[in-house]
Amino acid sequence: MARLAILEYPDKRLRLKAEPVEDVDDEIRGLVSDMLETMYAAAGIGLAATQVNVRKRLLVIDVSEARDEPHVLINPVIVHAQGKISSEEGCLSVPDVFDYVERAEQIRATYLDLDGRPAELEAEDLLAVCVQHEIDHLDGKLFVDYLSELKRQRLRKKALKKVRRSANEAPRQSISARLI
Ligand code: NI
């Protein structure tokens, strides 16, 4: 297993659309192991392949307190969504930014499991939010895209300043239960 580098906003590679996984093989399973390790090490509750610069439709999630209930969704598709929930989101790829986003409260998603078999997940609340946030990543979309233009302008300025500063500063450590 290995920890992978997580791309950070405003990196343009976060805007690339991921391609479906054709074969769930050992290479994919190895990538899943690395992504889980990376997510746990970063104290995140979700991570999409796009965030580690892999253009494959694949995501990992663990919203459990004990951090021992990983979900691995390959080629996930939301086939049903209902209700609305507004919750505060953060993202491993957009450090230090938290804001409210409205999403479906309950979803049903189809996906392939680690053996390449079709599977289904029914989710609500935080898990449902997380699945939607991660699928957005696979489509090149970030949670900040849902914020007002004014907020996004401020964020872009802050992110650019940070990129200029980062050469001579230690990396920030931020611990949040909602980094997805
Ligand atoms: Ni995210």
User: Ligand 1 centroid to 83 CA: how many Å?
Assistant: 22
- The structural domains of the chain, ordered by start, are 12-146 (3.90.45.10)
pLDDT for the residue 160? 82
User: Ligand 1 centroid to 76 CA: how many Å?
Assistant: 16
Q: How far is CA 155 from CA 14, 18, 102, in A?
A: 16, 25, 19
Asked if 124 is an active-site residue, the reply is no
Cα–Cα distance between 36 and 33 in angstroms, integer?
Answer: 5
User: Ligand 1 centroid to 100 CA: how many Å?
Assistant: 13
pLDDT for the residue 162? 78
Task: Tell me the mean pLDDT in the region 1-15.
Answer: 95
| Token code pair at residue 148 | 């007002």
The residue behind tokens 């001579």 is 168
pLDDT at 34 over 50: yes
pLDDT for the residue 14? 98
User: Ligand 1 centroid to 116 CA: how many Å?
Assistant: 25
Residues whose beta carbons lie less than 5 angstroms from ion ligand 1:
91, 180
The pTM of the full predicted model, rounded to 2 decimals, is 0.91
Task: Tell me the mean pLDDT in the region 71-89.
Answer: 97
pLDDT for the residue 164? 76
pLDDT at 175 over 50: no
Three-state secondary structure call for residue 80: strand
